[in-house]
Homo-oligomer: A and B are copies of this chain.
Amino acid sequence: MKPVYLLPCAGAALLPLVFVTISGAKGDTEPKVSSPIYGVTIPEGYRRWELIAPALEAVPLNELRAVVGNKTAIDAYRSGTLPFPEGTVLVKLAWKQIQSTEFEPATVPGDATTVQVMVKDSKKYADTGGWGFGRFIDGKPVDEAQHQTCFACHEARVKGHDFVFTRFAP
């Protein structure tokens, strides 16, 4: 049980301090703080969502990753539906890649690093391919400058897959 104090931002000076008690598995009860530009939050319960695929990102990040999706996302992947339907939510979990101490050929997840979210809402996010983006560290969104890079990269590289990198691992 870890108490977390959320400081209201300067523009909401009348808000009281919010006291949130986090219990249980990390990630399922993150405070609902939204990303700049997009207003995307970490979806509740995502850690229990179905796996789409793992991945590895090389140094300097050096991360093991897993992308999971809500039911809309999984159904779309399984049926090969493109573009992804409204309400699709994808979450990428990432951990430092560390050497297994028990099995030499293996690397395994270390500390969690970022949680990254994509939400499909064609009206709300009409200017960014229908997708809203959120990148979070310890449950808190990273700054606006980082969020300004999301769509340009997805657009340049995977426009033909509805701006989504991850494919379903069979």
Which residues of A are at the interface with B, using a C-beta cutoff of 8 A? 24-27, 47-51, 53-58, 61, 64-66, 68, 74, 78, 93, 95, 97, 100, 102-103, 105-109, 111-112, 157-158, 165-167, 169-170
Taken together, the copies of this chain in the complex come to: 2
Question: Does A51 lie within 8 Å of B78, measured CB to CB?
Answer: no
Question: Does A107 lie within 8 Å of B66, measured CB to CB?
Answer: no
- Beyond the given A51-B68, A55-B109, A66-B169, please list 10 additional residue pairs across the A-B interface where CB-CB is below 8 A: A25-B170, A48-B50, A54-B54, A56-B64, A56-B107, A58-B105, A61-B105, A103-B165, A106-B165, A109-B170
User: How far is it, in angstroms, between the C-alpha of A109 and the C-alpha of B169 when the chains are bound?
Assistant: 6
Question: Does A109 lie within 8 Å of B53, measured CB to CB?
Answer: yes
Residues of B within 8 A of A66 (CB): 51, 54, 66, 169
User: How far is it, in angstroms, between the C-alpha of A100 and the C-alpha of B109 when the chains are bound?
Assistant: 20
In the A-B complex, list the 7 residue pairs whose CB atoms are closest, starting with the nearest.
A54-B54, A109-B169, A58-B105, A26-B170, A56-B107, A51-B51, A102-B157
